[in-house]
Structure 1
Amino acid sequence: MVRAGSFTAIWIGMAAALGGVAMPEYVRADDIASGTGATYVPDAPPGMRLRVSEAMVQSMAPDAEASVQRVSSEETNAGPVVVELFTSQGCSSCPPADALFEEIAERPDVIALALHVDYWDYLGWKDPFGKPEFTARQKAYALAAGERTVYTPQMIVEGREALVGPQRTDLLAAITREAEEAQPVKLTIEGQGGRYEVSLSPVDGASEPAVVQVVRYQPQATVDILRGENAGRTVTYSNIVTSWRAVADWDGKTPTTLSIELEGEAPAVLIVQAARQGHSLPLPGPILAAGRLD
């Protein structure tokens, strides 16, 4: 069953603060960029090394660019592997991961989404793509995994595997593992020109509550960074997320089709993600299905 217009207060917000001490991990990324070895340190902002605090709960407001209605259908199929990159223009460790991400963003079997966080802005360069809701989403993933600290760069594969400062071989292996996993939800997307019918159905009776989300992104941008830790660098960014909105809750049991309308020319993808039990709010679970709204 889908409840259209019932927007779940999760993932782009959190219900509890994370505490404790966690130091940055040192990760060697020998082949992450251009064939030349590079060693860098995934890092966390000072306030988060000691305590991730003031994690505010924020409702996922309706997307002003998307409307959704319930209709009926049971046609289904599966989708590609979703890779989320948490990055920042103010993070000196991030450019090699941005380069690796640019490479996988071209793969048709991968939906690559770059979420720019805002917690490095204090270093003197405000990332124009950074949003506090993307920081909150990363914190929610940390809470779901029982972690006390968030780092950049970090990649989350299918909402399930977290890779901090990943090497190319580790990322490709994670994508391969997730591609081989059986999809618990069959998905069909039909339509064009901003009007789509999205059909959802559980596989083999499997059921798990989920949230249906629409993500819009900018395919590419090249930025001259003038200040901060990356001052003087020119970096190309791919698939920069501009909005991430829930459009419906789904019970994970009832074969259902949503009619979705989008405005504007920005590319969009649809993600069906499990909602796992949290302390007071659901937390992000595995991604159950995904597809492009071409």
Structure 2
Amino acid sequence: MLRSLFASVVALAVLSGAAAEPASGSDGGPLLAELFTSQGCSSCPPAETLFAELADDPGLVTIEWHVDYWDSLNYGGSRWKDPFSSSANTARQRAYNSVLRGTSAVYTPQGVVGGQAEFVGSRRSELAAARKAIGQPSVRLTIGARSVSVSGTGRGNVIFVRLLDRQETRVTGGENSGRLLRGRHIALERRQLGRFGGKPATFALPALGPGETCAIFVQQDTAG
């Protein structure tokens, strides 16, 4: 089960085959803004455009999680399999909905801020309201060249998400057939670096490849 997010920080350096360059954390740091989306959903491009803009907001860390339940949709005699979709991303979304909405039913585009509030992912006003409604992180993260240091009063799993910084995809089937879709911070991999138990700790960071960045956050429990 997913619970409230404690802290999040992003390393925005893109270094071929190397870890991100140093980025210092701060108390009351950025909030995690997650978008559950699909290249097969015609309602999702406006949300992806909004989140691409939000990727440059210093108060947020954005992640695009591409879900897989649109991959089998036949629309107008064609379908589109999102190359970034995964069942693990769908499981994460279902876990959020079980906690935040009391149902395992899902929809796209769906946004989640701070692990605590959900909203229609294309609605800027709902995002703004969600940001005001949730508490600030109680954990501090500081990213070094090859490690991340964690301190603060919270406890939880330290999660690393490998992200594709920018991507353009020409869709040739399904509801978005013929459209050029642009994504930012697309999730490629999620792994647990370790467990933060309330005492200062340091965790090694995986290397990043060309065009990649990463998000690191602490969350009480994780899905999938």
Query: Of residues 74, 88, 104 in structure 1, which corresponds to 2:54?
Result: 104
5+ residue gaps, structure 1, are 1-9, 12-64, 66-74, 276-281, 285-294
* Separation in 2, partners of 1:247, 1:230: 36
Name 1:164's counterpart in structure 2. Answer: 120
Q: Paired residues, what number?
A: 195
Q: How does 1:1-294 map to 2 (within 5 A)?
A: 77-123=27-73, 124-145=79-100, 146-178=102-134, 181-185=135-139, 187-192=140-145, 195-202=146-153, 207=154, 209-251=155-197, 253=198, 255-265=199-209, 266-275=212-221
Identity %: 35
Name 2:8's counterpart in structure 1. Answer: none
Larger Rg: 1
Q: Secondary structure at the match of 2:182?
A: strand
Deviation of 1:158 after TM superposition, in Å, equals 0.5
* Separation in 1, partners of 2:70, 2:26: 42
Deviation of 1:92 after TM superposition, in Å, equals 1.4
Alpha-carbon contact 2:185-2:213 (below 8 Å) kept: no
Deviation of 1:239 after TM superposition, in Å, equals 0.8
Deviation of 1:176 after TM superposition, in Å, equals 4.0
Q: 1:96 to 1:250 in 2, by over 3 A?
A: same
* Separation in 2, partners of 1:172, 1:242: 27
Deviation of 1:268 after TM superposition, in Å, equals 1.4
Superposed CA offset, 1:128-177 (max 9, x none): 01111101100111122312410010000000001134421221232344
Under a length normalisation based on structure 1, what TM-score does the superposition of the two structures give? 0.61
Deviation of 1:76 after TM superposition, in Å, equals 7.2
Q: Secondary structure at the match of 1:97?
A: helix
* Separation in 1, partners of 2:55, 2:148: 25
Alpha-carbon contact 1:118-1:127 (below 8 Å) kept: yes
Q: 1:259 to 1:283 in 2, by over 3 A?
A: closer
Displacement over 6 Å in runs of 4+: none
Q: 1:248 to 1:259 in 2, by over 3 A?
A: closer
Alpha-carbon contact 2:164-2:184 (below 8 Å) kept: yes
* Separation in 1, partners of 2:168, 2:81: 15
Alignment RMSD, CA only?
A: 2.3
Deviation of 1:213 after TM superposition, in Å, equals 0.4
Under a length normalisation based on structure 2, what TM-score does the superposition of the two structures give? 0.79
Superposed CA offset, 1:231-258 (max 9, x none): 111111111011111111233x3x2212
| More displaced stretch, 259-268 vs 114-123 | 259-268
* Separation in 2, partners of 1:242, 1:283: 16
Q: 1:257 to 1:165 in 2, by over 3 A?
A: closer
Superposed CA offset, 1:27-64 (max 9, x none): xxxxxxxxxxxxxxxxxxxxxxxxxxxxxxxxxxxxxx
Q: Secondary structure at the match of 1:90?
A: coil
Q: 1:104 to 1:148 in 2, by over 3 A?
A: same
Q: 1:260 to 1:241 in 2, by over 3 A?
A: same
